[in-house]
Structure 1
């Protein structure tokens, strides 16, 4: 790709990014989001968090295949049960880490 083409690409990406961000600022208060879309967007943070955490739990150290004797899997399951049952972030973290450290201590 030539230098001119590369600079044109940089400018196009910059203008596109600016336009996407500007449209939310400019449309704020002028456009009413449909209720169906608003309800669907409530699940986005949980979905993104799951998409980031699950591969790190199932594939430790970036391996290509799942490792089933991985102590992170039962710790994540225990943390998920605590989160579902008690809805407490601090308790979820404490139980998940305690189970993980306990399983690692038993393994060594």
Structure 2
């Protein structure tokens, strides 16, 4: 990559991110309003969180790992159970990380 490659990539990426976010602010008047839109948008945070977390739990070295020795998957399942039972973010984090550390320590 030449001397301008990295700064140009950073600038274009930043500009694209800015324009995507601006489109929702400036284009608000063209978006449909109503209960349907609000109902759909309520699922966006959960969908984004799942999209960020699922690859960490399920993918190792470029392939899906659904075996019994996948400590991250088991810790994720513990965290999901705690989240459903407690509805507490802190309890979910502590339980998930505790389960991961314990399983990694036990598994070597």
TM (norm. structure 1) is 0.70
Task: Find the structure with the greater CA-based Rg.
Answer: 1
User: What stretches of structure 2 of length at least 5 have no aligned partner?
Assistant: 1-14
User: What stretches of structure 1 of length at least 5 have no aligned partner?
Assistant: 1-13
The offset of 1:27, in angstroms, is 3.6
Q: Where does structure 1 differ by over 6 angstroms across 4 or more consecutive aligned residues?
A: none
Q: Which has the higher contact order (CA 8 A, sep 6+)?
A: 2
- Structure 2 counterparts to residues 1-108 of structure 1, below 5 A: 18=19, 21-22=22-23, 24-25=25-26, 27=28, 33-60=33-60, 62-68=61-67, 69-108=69-108
- In structure 2, the CA distance between the partners of 1:20 and 1:67, relative to structure 1 (3 Å rule), is closer
CA-to-aligned-CA distance 1:65-92 (integer Å, 9 cap, x gap): 3251210111000000000110111110
